Amino acid sequence: MAEHSKFPGWHGTTIIAVKKDGKVAVVGDGQVSLGQTVIKGSARKVRRISPGGFEVVCGFAGSTADAFTLLERLEAKLEAAPGQLARASVELAKDWRMDKYLRNLEAMLIVTDGADLFVITGAGDVLEPEYNIAAIGSGGNFALAAARAMTDSKKSAEDVAKAALTIAAEICVYTNGNMTVEVIEKND
């Protein structure tokens, strides 16, 4: 058995993005766990980046260092293709899939510019979610189900995403209710 497989690993997080009424809300919890221990309860896993003045909101699940590496690469891709989130996302996914170093990164990203919403994975996927809701992390499926149940309500994108994360935090032991919230409208 490899030595690293004995390590309990960093687990959990929940990131949910809801696109509704011309806005996208990305909400993430703050819990970082190592095995069965909560290491930190106030991590910030949702961030706003502005390469070349083009605003993008990103949420990440997985290893923090790996996620920051991917965020830096995404910023570079956006600087090379200003205002083209889809193109930058596909280029990042291609690099992630093909590069020997990047291939070992363990993270997932949700990215949005207020118009487009994507999930980017290390398998080379750039997924545009159905129903305008994306969710990743250990509590992602709980948050996704909760958000889908609320999308027809009169709640805003932010209110749906926050309520969905609250529900996920009540179910998933690797998710807490300490939220980071970013709302973005389509870039002009």
Which residues form the catalytic set? Answer: 13
- Contact criterion met (CB below 8 Å) for 63 and 105: yes
70 residue type, one letter: L
Q: Hey, CA dihedral for 81, 64, 140, 99, is it positive or negative? A: positive
- Contact criterion met (CB below 8 Å) for 90 and 82: no
Q: What distance in Å separates the CA atoms of residue 147 and residue 124, rounded to the nearest whole number? A: 26
- Contact criterion met (CB below 8 Å) for 64 and 18: no
